[in-house]
Homo-oligomer: A and B are copies of this chain.
Amino acid sequence: MTYTQPKQMHLGVVLSPTTAHVAGWRHPDAISNAGATFEQLRQIVDDASRAKFDFAFLADELCAPDATDEILSRDPVVYQFEPLTLMSALAVTTKEIGLVATQTTTYNEPYHIARKLASIDNLSGGRCGWNVVTSYVPAEARNFNLSEHVTYENRYERAREFCEVTAGLWDSWTDDAFVLDKESGRYFDPERIRRLNHEGKHFKVAGPLNVVRSPQGHPVIVQAGSSEHGLDLAADVAEMVFTAQRNLDGAVAFNKGLRERAERRGRDANSFRVIAGVYPVIGGTMEEAKRKYSELQDLIHSEIGLARLSQLLDFDVTNLPLDGPLPDNIPVTNAYRSRQELIINMAREGNMTLRELYKEVMSAYGHRIVIGTPETVADSLQEWHAAGASDGFMIMPAFLPTGLTDFVDGVVPELRKRDLFRTEYEGNTLRSHLGIARPDVPSGDPALV
């Protein structure tokens, strides 16, 4: 395999609604509604940009969690901004950091998505990324005229064609199409327009996109699926892959496997970055860090713990004993498959009670938890990076704002001492931060090829 890992790591930060920890908002240091207060979010993204992070990442779901009013009322996730509007606002209040937003292909139309993302790439001067998801939460269907969730196979087939259409729309104009010639009255050169005229199974889209081609050509394509169809899609189209990995060997195998898959499918193994989620809990001493973690875990109400576990497993555990085990008979369903499997394996391997399991899962949604001092957290990231586990890490702050600032003030300087993270940006686009090439407009008329 021809893959070469970059010497320095890439870093991103997740801006989950309010916090990456379900009870993080209850922590004494937390600003409880930071995720829905633009000035707070702006400050957090500015902090990440000053620390020269590659990107901030906006997660998304098109519904409130499927829970009773009673249980939902303990969950901060419903109080948030919609990600494309938030990203547009951040696009003009930041100058350097990349901005990635989640948008599903299941309940959207490619013309809308291509247009909004191209617009944001223009607004931000080339710092936009799109996390392509297929919607694993069945409750989303009920906000979009359906009683039943779209099936897994159908979702991925649609996602693949969706990405084909958006790519084609982003190539509606060559980079030099707009000549703006006042004298002759030509706004663009008619030889440099490319009408898509796509007719596929799921979509029929004529084009052209009514937005000029953006600084990055295409926004950076991000993918996090890790089921079979998800991995195939990532191997084919992703330029950044976000992954939940809890142990080093598994992470190394995932990274290697995905690059081999890409090569088997005819793509250069260097054409994407793999970024692993990390949920850091940082203290001045190891004891302080551990105490902080256990305080956070104790803030999770058992009602919401069991409810969220049920949702992630697509299996009701709310009436089972808190100190008993996960039952054996959990079926694979039409929900988020790889996440289901991860949680079931976690329970089995750790021989966990339901209380232990929800605490573990709720703290980082299946991502790796790293508890320690700035030095030991840096050690752990260095170890993973050196072993080829990933090209970088997505930091998931337990709460805002100190969940990020502890990392920026403590761990980032440690990484720099070891020459593992940049001190300055080299360029102004997300592609430049990630070291991923800008796509050219394919030659020839798309309707003829």
Please report A residues at the B interface, Cβ cutoff 8 Å.
23, 25-26, 28, 30, 32-33, 36, 38, 42, 61-64, 69-70, 72-82, 84-89, 91-93, 107-109, 111-112, 115-116, 118-120, 122-123, 139, 142-147, 178, 180, 182, 185-191, 193, 203-208, 210-212, 299, 301
Contacts and interface: CB of A to CB of B under 8 A. Distances in A.
Nearest to A65: B210
Contacts of A77: 210
A187 B73 contact: yes
B84 A84 contact: yes
B86 A85 contact: no
Contacts of A211: 78-82
Going nearest first, the 10 A-B pairs with the smallest beta carbon separation are A88-B88, A82-B119, A69-B190, A142-B206, A73-B190, A85-B88, A85-B119, A32-B180, A111-B143, A89-B92
Contacts of A142: 204-206
Nearest to A122: B81
A185 B86 contact: no
Contacts of A123: 38, 81, 85-86, 89
Contacts of A178: 33, 79
A32 B69 contact: no
Nearest to A304: B185
A69 B193 contact: yes
Nearest to A110: B143
A86 B203 CA distance: 26
A61 B185 CA distance: 22
A71 to B, nearest CB: 9
